[in-house]
């Protein structure tokens, strides 16, 4: 697959998130379905120039989607001025953010994955 650096990049996760990043290169995009296809976890990462906005040079997005109700249940991403943060009330309040005490993308991904079973514990 040919990956081309884009000046302006638009991406969306089932139309819930649109973001513009200069000189971004897609380095990871995978999704897994579970619990009989009811939920989807999608991890997307872009390599971006290191800056105050993205200190580790990564624009990360981890989302847990409820495909039955067509709502994102949990979203972790990073941007200024919040750094890595969780959106736990996407359904009602997209601006609601919870700070996440992590140092980099590695801890952020592990944090998100640790939260997924807790969020859907009623269905497990």
Residue 11: partners with Cβ closer than 8 Å, 6 or more residues away: 17, 18, 19, 44, 61
Q: Longest Cα pair distance anywhere in the chain, in angstroms?
A: 43
**Ranges within 35-94 binding another protein (CB under 8 A):** 35-37, 40-41, 43, 45, 47, 58, 60, 67
Contact call for residue 11 and another protein (CB under 8 A): no
Confirm or reject binding of residue 97 to another protein (CB under 8 A). no
Quick one: which of 11, 34, 53, 97 contacts another protein (CB under 8 A)?
34
Cβ nearer to another protein, comparing 10 with 95:
10
Residues 6+ apart with CB under 8 A from 58: 45, 46, 47, 48, 78, 105
User: How far is Cα 79 from Cα 82, in angstroms, rounded to an integer?
Assistant: 6
Q: Which residues make up the interface to another protein (CB under 8 A)?
A: 1, 3, 25-37, 40-41, 43, 45, 47, 58, 60, 67, 105-106, 109-110, 112-113, 116-117, 124
């Amino acid at each position: 697959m040919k990956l081309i650096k884009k000046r302006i990049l638009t991406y969306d996760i089932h139309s819930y998130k649109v973001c513009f990043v200069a000189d971004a290169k897609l380095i990871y995009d995978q999704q897994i379905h579970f619990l009989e296809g009811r939920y989807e976890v999608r991890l997307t990462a872009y390599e971006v120039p290191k800056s105050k906005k993205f200190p580790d040079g990564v624009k990360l997005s981890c989302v847990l989607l409820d495909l039955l109700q067509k709502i994102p249940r949990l979203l972790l991403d990073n941007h200024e001025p919040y750094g890595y943060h969780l959106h736990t009330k996407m359904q009602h309040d997209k601006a609601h953010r919870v700070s996440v005490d992590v140092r980099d993308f590695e801890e952020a991904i592990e944090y998100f994955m640790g939260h997924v079973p807790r969020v859907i514990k009623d269905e497990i």
